[in-house]
């Protein structure tokens, strides 16, 4: 017989949102080791038992909090990537991407996730599956289109090119004196231009 929730109170989506937001805030502030279920419950204004009814461990909770954050970010749709020129897509996403990459919260989150890669691989796995891989797939589609347009060499190793682009951004945002949004916009424009995704008008 399948159990139902009819005898209990329905799960409140607002409570889930508050818990996940509190978990992400604490993770950014203190890292995995500095975050506890008790602290999350206190910041979210709920009882600790409420957390354990939903998540079996701190790592599970933080993984879902990260997953929710990355899903909320707006990126080009697969349809746009297939239909539009790479330059048009870059022009559309660059301003928002620069603002996000220059933000202290984004830098802190990336640093925390990378710092937890060895000690808590589940968090990196979630970040990789739901944040990194979808963006790599979109970038590969754009680069293949650029190869057809002649702005990227036909024999270019696209995996290496994507690694170089992503690595450049990560290196820049984690510097001790990271760029502001205006400088990040200039830097991202240069990256995409060097990669062949954002040629000047005279280059086509």
pLDDT in tens, the chain (204 residues): 333 344 444 567 789 999 999 999 999 999 999 999 999 999 999 999 999 999 988 888 998 898 888 776 767 777 888 888 899 998 888 998 899 889 988 899 889 988 888 988 888 888 888 888 888 998 999 999 999 999 999 999 999 999 999 999 999 999 999 899 999 999 999 999 999 998 765 555
Assess whether the region 13-68 and the region 75-203 belong to the same CATH fold.
no
Domain spans in the chain, listed from the N-terminal domain onward = 13-68, 75-203
% helix / strand / coil in the chain, to the nearest 5? Answer: 70, 0, 30
75-203 classified as CATH 1.10.357.10:
yes
- Residue 179: phi, psi to the nearest 5? -70, 155
Residue 40 to residue 24: CA distance in whole angstroms: 9
Q: For 13-68, which CATH superfamily applies?
A: Homeodomain-like (1.10.10.60)
Spatial neighbors of 37 by CB under 8 A, at least 6 apart, are 48, 51, 52, 58, 61
* HSE toward the beta carbon, residue 106, CA cutoff 13 A: 19
């Amino acid at each position: 017989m399948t159990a139902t929730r009819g005898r209990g109170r329905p799960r409140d989506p607002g409570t889930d949102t508050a818990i996940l937001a509190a978990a992400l805030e604490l993770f950014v502030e203190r890292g995995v080791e500095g975050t506890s279920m008790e602290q999350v419950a206190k910041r979210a204004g709920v009882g600790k038992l409420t957390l354990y009814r939903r998540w079996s461990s701190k790592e599970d909770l933080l993984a879902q909090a990260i997953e929710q954050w990355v899903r909320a970010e707006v990126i080009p749709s697969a349809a746009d990537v297939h239909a539009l020129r790479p330059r048009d897509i870059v022009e559309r996403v660059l301003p928002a991407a620069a603002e996000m990459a220059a933000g202290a919260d984004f830098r802190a989150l990336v640093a925390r996730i990378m710092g937890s890669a060895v000690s808590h691989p589940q968090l990196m796995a979630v970040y990789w599956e739901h944040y990194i891989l979808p963006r790599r797939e979109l970038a590969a589609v754009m680069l293949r289109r650029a190869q057809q347009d002649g702005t990227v060499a036909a024999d270019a190793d696209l995996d290496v090119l994507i690694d170089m682009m992503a690595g450049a951004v990560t290196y820049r945002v984690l510097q001790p004196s990271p760029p502001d949004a205006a400088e990040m916009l200039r830097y991202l424009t240069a990256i995409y231009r060097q990669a062949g995704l954002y040629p000047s008008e005279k280059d086509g």
